[in-house]
């Protein structure tokens, strides 16, 4: 597990990227856990939490990315101002709520447009891999903005179940976050635990929490997730009991416990297609000799 | 330099030293609550935040359970700070168990902040009235110029081109502790030198602290001053605010602040307004933020000549303290570190480490060696025994004879002073510096 070593900073200035799960199937009442927390109530908890982050330090920055069903987008950036170009050391707190809500509405309308034709069964998973990538891109931009920049971290507020088809993309995002020493925190508001987010917070050194009482979400957020990275080394933060390290196979996108791994490219397969794909890969990498092309199709 | 932080953080100590009644009155103001929260150490901020919506007292043991064993000292520092500022109120119940509760006014003000977001203390003036507003760069340049002019007047009144509007008695108050009166004129003390090496934020806090502690003699209530200053830090840089919205007391303070470069005063046809500069909004930024530090370059050669790429008169004055400035070009200051300049510096109590902080890191070791070798011969602790032969190595006197004389004299002194006074490594230092 990568430990978070603060690079050169002595401040507690932080950049928090919040990934909000806006999956309509999650919030529309089919899921019993989130029945106790409706989307508007959830948003009030989140707004208060964002205000508290901006309160703690004048230079703190907050970016909100919405994770939709088919797309993701930046919803809010506290360092950008609509009217004039103002520097960060302004001391002004923009009207967070109205801007955020407006952008969120527009995003949801756009997301729904993309969804018109299909009707996926059950609760579809939201596009976590996309929003993780967007967050990491923003953080990389901040890293390159100069010698003095806030310490970034990512907070995922996720409720939808994991989509095994996103396994590869999510793992890639997790490893690149580990490389850049950006911790990924996770606060799961859905019914079941999320294996991907457990792995993410374990590998990057973040905190994983599934609050038992969603009515007090703000208290959980402010107690566990509001501390800056340097102070975290002195605090007892929740640790998950066990981490679900199961992978999903690349062929059927099913979660598997046992499988086959190609020694060349490390891709994971369940039993059925292993011979075919391995041979194809050998062809691609130029290894192996092919005597009879028709033998491939056996 | 931990000592620097102590001087600058004392502003909040001053707030904490106010009597309980006055502090409670101060917490009626939302901006003060925000500023106090932002000034707390990070762990204390977390504690304050998590207690915001808890109505029952939290026992001490529960608070301690949050901390890992090696963070316990930080925990104690945070809790002490919170109690000092009366943000946390301790109560002991009948079972002799202490518990903490958040100050009620503080709590309600911050809850309002969380729900409604931050608001500005006053509305900026509409742009059709305010014409000729300076741009942000012009404002920064103005603030810097005013601040440097003030500092120049502070350390050497003779060199200042333009005097600020501060009365001589006010300047004396500021100079107290930084300058000392000598026969040749006011000279900078060790704490004065430390002051000059602090970054602008810390210097500003120091001056404001002196200003506030002096305000009682002038009949102003320090609590009012503190609340106005903290409120000022929440204004937006570059926006104009009407002076009529200020009270009488605040108007007199604003004039002094304009001299420091914290605000800029402008006059329209009917109204006059003030524009907060970056110095104002930086008042509540954390003290370890170094973004306001000026960039400059000082090159020191092995023959102890020094080139400083700066056009600031203040830098010239600082360099004059321990080096001999030879000539000054529009963007370059050329000087040399000589024995006379070092004598002056050591007389004033400037130690080797302080002087070397001003120099770029690569040459620090060289300079430190030089200073330390001089110091070893000079027998530090500010005694005036100056055996300056060592530094004749700077001048190109024939080294062989000098070394011989030096060794001879060293033995003489050695005999007089006795073994105990000599630092052992001093003996090894008697060698030509190549």
pLDDT over 90, % of chain B: 0
- Tell me the pLDDT tens digit for each residue of A232-289: 888 888 887 777 777 777 777 777 888 888 777 777 887 755 555 555 666 666 555 5
Distance CA B58, CA B55 (A): 9
Of B117, B241, B277, which to mutate for an interface test with A (greatest number of A Cβ within 10 Å)?
B117
Please give the pLDDT value at position B275: 83
C-alpha–C-alpha distance, residues B220 and B249, integer Å = 8
Distance CA A139, CA A177 (A): 10
Tell me the angle at which helices B42-50 and B72-84 cross, rounded to the nearest 10 degrees: 70
Measured between alpha carbons, how far is A5 from B267 in angstroms, rounded to an integer? Answer: 52
CA distance B320 to B381: 22
CA atoms within 13 A on the CB side of B383: 11
* pLDDT the model gives residue A203: 92
| Domain ranges (residues) in chain A | 14-234, 246-290
Please answer yes or no on whether B114 and A10 come within 8 Å at the CB atom: no
Report pLDDT for B130.
Answer: 65
The band of B361, judged by pLDDT with boundaries at 50, 70 and 90, is very low
Q: Do B46 and A48 touch (CB under 8 A)?
A: no
**pLDDT beyond 60 at B290:** no
Q: Are strands A151-158 and A14-21 parallel, antiparallel or unpaired?
A: parallel
Predicted TM-score of the model (pTM): 0.72
What is the reported pLDDT for B382?
32
pLDDT in tens, B226-248: 888 888 877 877 778 888 877 88
Bridge-based pairing state of the strands A208-209 and A184-188: parallel
Residue of B nearest to A225 (CA): B46
Q: How far is CA B191 from CA B83, B165, B198, B348, B352, in A?
A: 30, 25, 11, 10, 14
Q: What backbone phi and psi angles, to 5 degrees, belong to A151?
A: -80, 120
Q: What beta strand segments (E) does B164-301 contain?
A: 179-182, 185-188, 241-242, 263-267, 272-276, 297-300
Contact (CB<8Å) A234/B288: no
Name chain B contacts of A231, Cβ cutoff 8 Å: 42-43, 46, 74
pLDDT of B424: 41
Buried (b) or exposed (e) across A159-171, using 16+ Cβ within 10 A?
Answer: bbbbbbebbbbbb
Looking at CATH, the fold of the domain delimited by A14-234 is given as Rossmann fold (3.40.50)
> How much is the pLDDT for A178?
94
Eight-state DSSP code of residue A101: H
Helix (H) / strand (E) element for B377: namely helix B364-378
Average pLDDT over residues B12-24: 79
Termini Cα distance of chain B: 32
Crossing angle for the helix pair B222-232 and B200-215, to the nearest 10 degrees: 150
CB atoms B281 and A89 under 8 Å:
yes
How far apart CA A89 and CA A60 sit, in angstroms, is 10
Q: Is the pLDDT confidence value at B152 over 60?
A: yes
Higher pLDDT, B121 or A206: A206
**Chain A to chain B Cβ contacts (< 8 Å):** 115
Which two tokens mark A262?
Answer: 């190609």
Does A234 contact B75 at a Cβ distance shorter than 8 Å? yes
pLDDT at A138: 94
Q: Does B378 have pLDDT greater than 50? A: no
Q: What are the backbone dihedrals phi and psi of residue B98, each rounded to the nearest 5 degrees, phi first?
A: -90, 145
Taking an 8 Å Cβ-Cβ cutoff, which residues of chain A contact chain B? Answer: 10-13, 48, 51-52, 54-59, 86-87, 89-97, 148, 218-219, 222-223, 226-228, 230-231, 233-236
- What SS3 class is residue A137? helix
The whole-angstrom separation of Cα A210 and Cα A212 is 6
Query: Count of CB atoms within 10 A of residue B168's CB?
Result: 10
So what's the pLDDT on residue B206? 77
Q: Are B220 and B247 in contact (CB under 8 A)?
A: no
Is the pLDDT at A29 greater than 70, yes or no?
Answer: no
Mean pLDDT value of segment A26-55: 80
In our burial notation (b when 16+ CB lie closer than 10 A, e otherwise), range A44-65 reads: ebbbbbbbbbbbbbbbbbbbbb
B360 — pLDDT class (breaks 50, 70, 90): very low
pLDDT(B286) > 60? no
| Of A265, A255, A270, the residue nearest A199 (C-alpha) | A255
SS3 B290: coil
Q: What is the pLDDT of residue B418?
A: 46
Q: Which residue is listed with tokens 């991907």?
A: A196
B288 vs A contacts (CB less than 8 Å): 10-11
A212-226, B60-74, B133-147, B162-176: the lowest-pLDDT one: B162-176
| A68 vs B278: which has the higher pLDDT | A68
Residues A37, A39, A41, A43: what is their CA dihedral angle, to the nearest 10 degrees? 130
Please list every residue in chain A whose beta carbon sits closer than 8 Å to the beta carbon of residue B43: 227, 231, 234-235
* Torsion angles phi and psi, residue A80, rounded to 5: -100, 145
Q: Based on C-alpha coordinates, what's the Rg of chain B?
A: 27
Q: What is the largest CA-CA distance in chain A?
A: 73
Which residues in A86-105 are b (16+ Cβ under 10 Å) and which e?
beebbbbbbebbebbeebbe
SS3 sequence, B330-343?
A: CCCEEEECCHHHHH
d(CA A114, CA B82) in angstroms, rounded, equals 52
Residue A142 in contact with residue A149, Cβ under 8 Å? Answer: yes
Contact B45 A97 (CB under 8 A): no
- Other CB atoms closer than 10 Å to residue B285's CB: what's the count? 23
Asked if the Cβ–Cβ distance from B118 to A54 is below 8 Å, we say yes
When pLDDT is cut at 50, 70 and 90, the band that residue A129 belongs to is: very high
Share of chain B above pLDDT 70, in %: 67
Q: How far apart are CA A278 and CA A265, in angstroms?
A: 10
Check A93 against B117: CB less than 8 A apart.
Answer: yes
Kindly determine whether residue B110 and residue A59, on different chains, have CB atoms separated by under 8 Å.
no
Closest-CA residue of B relative to A237 is: B66
Q: Which residues contact A147 (CB under 8 A, 6 or more apart)?
A: none
In the structure, what pLDDT confidence band is assigned to residue A133 with cuts at 50, 70 and 90? very high
Where do the structural domains in chain B lie, given as residue ranges?
11-116, 136-282, 294-348, 352-411
Minimal Cβ distance to B114: which of A12, A13, A52: A52
The chain-wide mean pLDDT, for chain B, equals: 71
Residue from the list B71, B136, B285 with its beta carbon closest to the beta carbon of A58 = B285
Across A107-121, A126-140, A187-201, least confident range: A107-121
* Secondary structure element (H or E) that encloses residue A188, with its range: strand A184-188
Section B216-221 average pLDDT: 77
What's the pLDDT band for B355 if we cut at 50, 70, 90?
A: low
Q: From CA B163, how far away is CA B394, in angstroms rounded? A: 39
Amino acid B176: pLDDT? 72
pLDDT for residue B46 is more than 70: yes
Q: What SS3 class is residue A81?
A: coil
Q: Are A12 and B45 in contact (CB under 8 A)?
A: yes
- Which whole number is the average pLDDT over B370-398? 40
pLDDT value at position B4? 38
Confidence label for A214 from pLDDT (cuts 50, 70 and 90): confident
Query: In this predicted structure, what is the pLDDT of residue A284?
Result: 63
Instruction: Give B57's contacts (C-beta < 8 A, 6+ positions apart).
Output: B91, B99, B100, B101
| Separation in Å, CA A74 to CA A148, A156, B151, B290 | 23, 14, 46, 30
CA gap A162, A67 in Å, rounded: 13
Q: What is the mean pLDDT of the segment spanning B82-100?
A: 83
B235 — alpha (psi -120 to 50), left (phi > 0) or beta?
beta
Interior CA angle at A75 toward A73 and A80, to 5°? Answer: 120
Residues of B in Cβ contact (< 8 Å) with A56: 37-38, 45, 49
DSSP states of B138-187? HHHHHHHHHHHHHHHHHH-TTT-SS--S--HHHHHHHHBTTEEEETTEEE
Pairing of strands B179-182, B241-242: unpaired
Contacts with B74 from chain A: Cβ below 8 Å: 231, 234
Q: Is the pLDDT of residue B325 over 60?
A: yes
Mutate to test the interface with B, among A234, A235, A237 (most CBs of B within 10 A): A234
**Is A226 in contact with B114 (CB distance < 8 Å)?**
no
CA angle B28, B30, B32 (to 5 degrees): 85
Lowest average pLDDT, out of A71-75, A80-84, A148-152, B338-342, goes to: A80-84
Distance to chain B for A175, nearest Cα, Å: 28
Please, which pLDDT band fits residue B33 given cuts at 50, 70 and 90?
Answer: confident
Residue B50: pLDDT above 80? yes
Q: Compute the distance between CA of residue A194 and CA of residue A192 in angstroms, rounded to an integer.
A: 6
pLDDT of residue A187: 93
From the candidate CATH numbers 1.25.10, 1.20.58, 3.40.1130, 1.10.10, the one assigned to the domain spanning B11-116: 1.10.10
Percent of chain A with pLDDT over 70: 77
pLDDT band at A33 (very low <50, low <70, confident <90, very high): low
């Amino acid at each position: 597990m990568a430990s978070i070593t603060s690079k050169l900073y002595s401040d507690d200035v932080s950049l928090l990227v919040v990934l909000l799960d806006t999956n309509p199937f999650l919030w529309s009442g089919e899921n019993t856990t989130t029945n106790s927390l409706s989307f508007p109530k959830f948003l009030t908890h989140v707004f208060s939490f964002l205000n508290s982050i901006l309160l703690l330090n004048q230079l703190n920055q907050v970016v909100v990315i919405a994770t939709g069903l088919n797309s993701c987008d930046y919803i809010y950036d506290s360092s950008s101002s609509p009217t004039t170009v103002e520097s960060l050391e302004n001391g002004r707190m923009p009207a967070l709520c109205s801007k955020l809500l407006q952008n969120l509405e527009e995003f949801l309308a756009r997301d729904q447009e993309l969804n018109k034709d299909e009707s996926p069964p059950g609760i579809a998973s939201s596009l976590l891999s996309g929003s993780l990538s967007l967050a990491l891109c923003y953080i990389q931009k901040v890293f390159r903005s100069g010698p003095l920049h806030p310490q970034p971290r990512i907070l995922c507020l996720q409720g939808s179940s994991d989509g095994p088809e996103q396994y590869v993309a999510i793992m890639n995002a997790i490893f690149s976050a580990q490389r850049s020493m950006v911790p990924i925190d996770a606060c799961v508001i859905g019914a079941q635990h999320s294996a991907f987010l457990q792995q993410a917070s374990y590998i990057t050194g973040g905190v994983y929490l599934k609050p038992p009482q969603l009515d007090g979400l703000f208290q959980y957020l402010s107690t566990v997730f509001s501390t800056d990275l340097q102070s975290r080394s002195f605090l007892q933060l929740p640790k998950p009991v066990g981490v679900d390290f199961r992978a999903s196979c690349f062929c059927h996108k099913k979660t598997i416990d046992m499988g086959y791994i190609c020694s060349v490219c490390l891709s994971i397969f369940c039993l059925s297609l292993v011979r075919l794909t391995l041979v194809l890969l050998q062809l691609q990498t130029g290894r192996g000799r092919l005597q009879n092309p028709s033998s491939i199709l056996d | 330099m931990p000592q620097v932080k102590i001087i600058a953080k004392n502003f909040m100590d001053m707030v904490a030293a106010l009597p309980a009644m006055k502090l409670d009155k101060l917490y009626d103001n939302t901006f003060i609550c925000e500023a106090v929260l932002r000034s707390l150490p990070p762990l204390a901020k977390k504690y304050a935040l998590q207690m915001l919506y808890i109505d029952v007292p939290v026992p001490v043991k529960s608070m301690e359970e949050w901390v890992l064993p090696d963070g316990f000292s930080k925990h104690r520092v945070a809790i002490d700070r919170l109690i000092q500022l009366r943000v946390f109120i301790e109560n002991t119940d009948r079972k002799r168990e202490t518990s903490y509760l958040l100050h009620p006014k503080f709590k309600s003000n911050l809850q309002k902040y969380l729900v409604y977001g931050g608001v500005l203390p006053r509305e900026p003036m509409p742009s059709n009235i305010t014409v000729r507003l300076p741009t942000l760069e012009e404002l920064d340049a103005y603030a810097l110029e005013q601040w440097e002019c003030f500092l120049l007047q502070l350390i050497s009144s003779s060199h200042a081109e333009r005097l600020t509007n501060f009365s001589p008695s006010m300047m004396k108050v500021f100079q107290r502790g930084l300058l000392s009166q000598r026969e040749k004129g006011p000279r900078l003390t060790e704490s004065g030198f430390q002051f000059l090496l602090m970054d602008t934020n810390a210097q500003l806090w120091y001056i404001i602290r002196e200003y506030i502690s002096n305000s009682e003699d002038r009949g102003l209530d320090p609590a009012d001053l503190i609340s106005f200053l903290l409120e000022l830090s929440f204004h937006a840089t570059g926006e104009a605010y009407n002076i009529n919205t200020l009270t009488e007391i605040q108007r007199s303070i604003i004039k002094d602040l304009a001299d420091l470069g914290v605000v800029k005063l402008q006059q329209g046809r009917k109204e006059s307004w003030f524009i907060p500069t970056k110095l104002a909004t930086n008042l509540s930024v954390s003290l370890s933020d170094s973004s306001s530090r000026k960039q400059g370059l000082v090159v020191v050669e092995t023959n102890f000549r020094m080139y400083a790429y700066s056009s600031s008169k203040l830098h010239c004055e600082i360099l004059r303290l321990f080096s001999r400035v030879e000539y000054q070009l529009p963007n370059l200051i050329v000087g040399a570190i000589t024995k006379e300049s070092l004598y002056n510096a050591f007389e004033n109590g400037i130690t080797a480490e302080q002087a070397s902080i001003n120099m770029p890191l690569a040459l620090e070791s060289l300079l430190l060696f030089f200073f330390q070798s001089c110091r070893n011969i000079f027998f530090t602790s500010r005694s005036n025994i100056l055996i300056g032969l060592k530094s004749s190595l700077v001048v190109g006197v024939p080294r062989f004879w000098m070394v011989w004389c030096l060794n001879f004299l060293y033995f003489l002194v050695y005999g007089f002073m006795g073994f105990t006074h000599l630092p052992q490594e001093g003996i090894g230092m008697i060698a030509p510096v190549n």
